[in-house]
Chains A and B, each alone.
Chain A
Amino acid sequence: MAERVAVVGIGQTKYTATRGDVSLPGLLREAAFRALEDAHMTFDDIDCVVVGKAPDFFEGVMVPEYSLVSALGAVGKPIFRVHTAGSVSGSTAIVASQLVEGGIHGTVLTIGWEMQSCSEAMWALSVTMPFQQQLVAGAGGYFAPYIRQYIARSGAPDDTGILVALKDRQNALLNPYAHLHEHDITYESVRDSIMLWDPIRYSETCPSSDGAFAMVMTNEAGGDAAAAEGRQPAWIHATAMRSEPALAAGRDQVSPQAGKDCAASVFKQAGITNPRKEIDVAEVYVPFSWYEPMWLENLGFAEEGTGWQLTHDGVTARDGDLPFNPSGGVLSSNPIGASGMIRFGEAALQVRGMAGDRQIDGARKALGHAYGGAAQFYSMWVVGSDKP
């Protein structure tokens, strides 16, 4: 019988374009200490550290898990590194949970981060190689043709993306950690922002952020002990990862099969038959606004071609019956290597009732979702206020 796993500590930094006042290890320690404080623990209580990073050349710090050992209190302890592109810190959280679930470690610290101010992701994604076609337009240029294809297939109104961006950026105003706090944002200001990669506007694009996110996970006894002291744990109900080859002929990049399979698996393991009804809140990786309707369909919350209707009907708003990204999402904060774990951790904060002003009333079951690479890596978990 596998161990039940509880998230008992969560720590994050304020996301910002240029942190400037701390080193990379310092940034990580800030998140780690906050997670330990939340868990009422110190490094002494941690059996193993699991870090996520992908790819190294975003920051130019190679194999960072080596140089971070002492900063993360891991001297003499196992440290484990995970590497799955943009989904990396979602996958990292899952690996950490499995080390507890399998009974290998009692308590694990996990962390994801990015210092985009010390890196040039656009450059890193545009390395010239003689044997490859040139992607002449950065990350948005990769995904924009698939978004255009989604719009053509679904017949979604042109302003669906505007509504998503407006919602997420307004949600971010309730999250003190969010990078972008655009108090004056309006439908018109999003609509009139420059069209970077038609059909993606500037205000429908994620920012470049510095930041780190850490979690402490522990076994059932540890979760029970926290609960006994009145500190609500987030119990992990299910985790799933899937991937598919990026360059496979006939691959559907608008709604990739690996995403569908991953969602089906995580909901089945969690005993969820009607995700639309049973999931109270979802933190979903939406780096470009149109990915909200696309993932609504891919995750099975809506029939194919109808995800945009949920956005227009306000279903994904804070006061809708399926709030998407009450934290403001990736559209409001994007420290790439932490963005997946932020989704997972914000889902956990919601079911712990500790999400502050961005708390969704009555959230007891939440989905965390991350994707990465050429939309070929997926990781997801379902967490709940009650034990699975």
Chain B
Amino acid sequence: MSDSAPIELPEGLWSQPAVDTSAVDSITDVESVQLITTPAKFVYDYTPGVARTRFLRAIEQKRLVGQRCPETQKVYIPPAGVSPVSGLPTLEEVELGLDGTVVSYCIVNLDFTGNAQEIPYVSALILVDGSDIPIYGLVREIAPEDVHFGLRLKSVWVEPEEMTTSFENIKWWAPNGEPDVPKSELADYV
């Protein structure tokens, strides 16, 4: 496998010591193992903090909320409670829409979701109405080649009895039939 070229050693210089492998070489009746797979699992409690708690409580009720930076006036989703630009707390909560706009996207031809997705599928950067930073989301109910910058989308949610405090309440995004948003209005969001 490795065809590393031999190195010319400078004269008189101590280098890699010889290793006595005779004890290993004498073992001939066992199968050589180079790789083992060890499934591992982490279970942890997550304490989301005030801003994300409010976001997750809202998403359980089929609402999307962001928070506004007091200096730049930009609205963040999901809110972290602090503006990464000004460093100030984002204390003003903003009720966002449940629709959004494609600001960019890619068409995926390889399944990264463990057979959960038919390929090809579209992963898009979506600007949720009322927010100022796009989030990634799956786009369905449209042929991948018909997705484009400015396409208007609605969020498609799991059944009410399946709603939890998770982003996964949104199953995917789909065209909402509204006219495209002009590219010029999206220039600041990529």
Q: Is A21 an interface residue (CB 8 A)?
A: yes
Chain B neighbourhood of A134, CB < 8 A:
136-138, 167-168
Q: Tell me if A's interface is mostly helix, strand, loop or mixed.
A: loop
Q: Is A132 an interface residue (CB 8 A)?
A: yes
Chain A neighbourhood of B135, CB < 8 A:
133
Q: Is A136 an interface residue (CB 8 A)?
A: yes
Q: Is B50 an interface residue (CB 8 A)?
A: no
The CA-CA distance from A131 to B10 in the complex, in Å, is 57
Nearest residue in A to B76 (C-beta to C-beta)? A249
A134-169 at interface with B (beta carbon < 8 Å) = 134-138, 140-142, 144-149, 152
Number of interface residues of A (CB under 8 A): 56
Q: Which of B55, B84, B107, B165 touches A195 (beta carbons < 8 Å)?
A: B107
Nearest residue in A to B113 (C-beta to C-beta)? A136
The CA-CA distance from A250 to B17 in the complex, in Å, is 56
Chain B neighbourhood of A34, CB < 8 A:
7
- CB atoms of B136 and A247 under 8 A apart: no
Chain B, residues 156-190, CB within 8 Å of chain A (1/0): the string is 00000000111110000000000000010000111
- CB atoms of A19 and B138 under 8 A apart: no
* Given A37-B15, A198-B106, A146 and B190 contact (CB-CB distance below 8 Å): yes
Number of interface residues of B (CB under 8 A): 62
Chain B neighbourhood of A60, CB < 8 A:
40
Q: Is B72 an interface residue (CB 8 A)?
A: yes
Q: Is A20 an interface residue (CB 8 A)?
A: yes
Nearest residue in A to B2 (C-beta to C-beta)? A14
Chain A neighbourhood of B10, CB < 8 A:
37, 40
Q: Is B29 an interface residue (CB 8 A)?
A: no
Q: Which of A13, A194, A249 touches B74 (beta carbons < 8 Å)?
A: A249
Q: Which of A19, A122, A136, A149 touches B123 (beta carbons < 8 Å)?
A: A136
- CB atoms of A144 and B168 under 8 A apart: no
State how many angstroms separate the Cβ of B7 from the closest Cβ of chain A: 6
- CB atoms of B14 and A16 under 8 A apart: no
Chain B, residues 113-152, CB within 8 Å of chain A (1/0): the string is 1000100110111000000110111100000100001000
Chain A, residues 7-39, CB within 8 Å of chain B (1/0): the string is 000000110101111000000011001100100
* Given A131-B48, A146-B190, A250 and B132 contact (CB-CB distance below 8 Å): yes
The CA-CA distance from A145 to B135 in the complex, in Å, is 12
The CA-CA distance from A122 to B76 in the complex, in Å, is 27
- CB atoms of B149 and A249 under 8 A apart: no
The CA-CA distance from A152 to B125 in the complex, in Å, is 15
Q: Is B69 an interface residue (CB 8 A)?
A: yes
Q: Which of B76, B125, B188 touches A145 (beta carbons < 8 Å)?
A: B125
* Given A16-B1, A134-B168, A250-B72, A245 and B85 contact (CB-CB distance below 8 Å): yes
A–B Cβ pairs within 8 angstroms, 28 of them: A13-B4, A14-B3, A19-B1, A20-B34, A37-B13, A42-B13, A60-B40, A126-B112, A130-B165, A130-B168, A136-B117, A137-B106, A137-B112, A141-B108, A141-B123, A145-B190, A194-B109, A197-B109, A198-B107, A198-B108, A198-B109, A247-B76, A247-B80, A247-B133, A248-B84, A248-B133, A250-B132, A252-B190
Task: Please name 18 further chain A to chain B contacts, defined as beta carbons within 8 Å, in addition to the given A42-B13, A197-B109, A249-B74, sorted by A numbering.
Answer: A19-B2, A37-B15, A133-B135, A134-B168, A140-B106, A141-B108, A145-B106, A146-B190, A147-B106, A194-B110, A196-B110, A197-B106, A197-B123, A198-B109, A198-B144, A248-B84, A249-B132, A250-B85
